[in-house]
Amino acid sequence: MNKNGLKNILLGICFLLTMTAWAQVWTAGDNITLQISEFALIETNHAPVTLTLATSTAGAPVGSVSNSDVFVKISSIVPGGTDRELTARISSGSIPAGTSLTLVSANCTTTNSGGALGTAITTPITLTSVDQFLVRYIATCYTGTGYNDGYQMTFTWAPLNPAANYSQIAAATYNITVVFTLTAHDGN
């Protein structure tokens, strides 16, 4: 095999690679190749979440407080037979001493959505720095893009075992960031 021959082979292979990568190729026989890449897109409605522990009755402990303003929107395409999960964790800040912050997802809203939107886990997770499942079995689907489309998230903040820990609660303001992740499909 001389050098020129090798170059020609290389050029030929490169040309073939280019054609498959561009996904739609008309050949002499009018064959059409349609390609769908798997993808996972996630966004929230950017609702501000402010929670305040308070009480107005002398003698009463501060009560639990909830916020359900955040909706998580996704678009997902998966290879056949695979699915994704929606998870959450704390990426910055920490939960104030003597309290716990839980999160639970509702099933996806139905108004503007379609596809295999998965199943929300009904038991709230206690948020930590480790990802935990909120929704499982998400396959190819879309949630809609409206402010109140998608998976409605309910944050609940409350004293943690007040009989033992109440004295640890300190007046202050705490900033926390929660990260939602739409995982790679489980065939990856």
Partner 1 sequence: MVDFKKAVLIITVIGLLFYMPSSGYCQNNNTAEVPLMLSIPPVSLINFAVDGEQVITYSYSLLEPNNVEQIINPNTGDNTWLNYSSIVNPGATNYITANISSGSLPADVTLRVVISEDVGFGSGATGTPIGEITLSSYPQNIIVNIGSCYTGSGTNRGHRLTYIWDNPESYNYSNKYENGQAIAVTYTITSTE
Question: Which of 24, 27, 31, 173 contacts partner 1 by CB under 8 A?
Answer: 173
Residue 166 near residue 159 (C-beta atoms within 8 A): yes
Q: How far apart are CA 74 and CA 140, in angstroms?
A: 10
Name residue 156's beta-bridge partners.
66, 102
Give the shortest CB-172-to-partner 1 separation in angstroms.
6
Residue among 33, 66, 91, 119 that touches partner 1 (CB under 8 A): 91
One character per residue 93-132, x = contact with partner 1 (rule: CB under 8 A): x-xx-xx-x-------------------------------
Minimum CB distance to partner 1 smaller for 69 or for 112: 69
Look up residue 98 and give its two tokens.
């003597």
Going by C-alpha positions, the residue among 74, 89, 88 that lies closest to residue 42 is 74
Q: Smallest distance, Å, CB 11 to partner 1? A: 11
174 by Cβ neighbours in 10 Å (0-12 / 13-18 / 19+) ranks as: middle
Residues lying near partner 1 in the complex (CB under 8 A) are found at 1, 3, 6, 9-10, 13-14, 17-18, 21, 37-44, 48-62, 70, 72, 91, 93, 95-96, 98-99, 101, 153, 155, 157, 162-164, 166-184
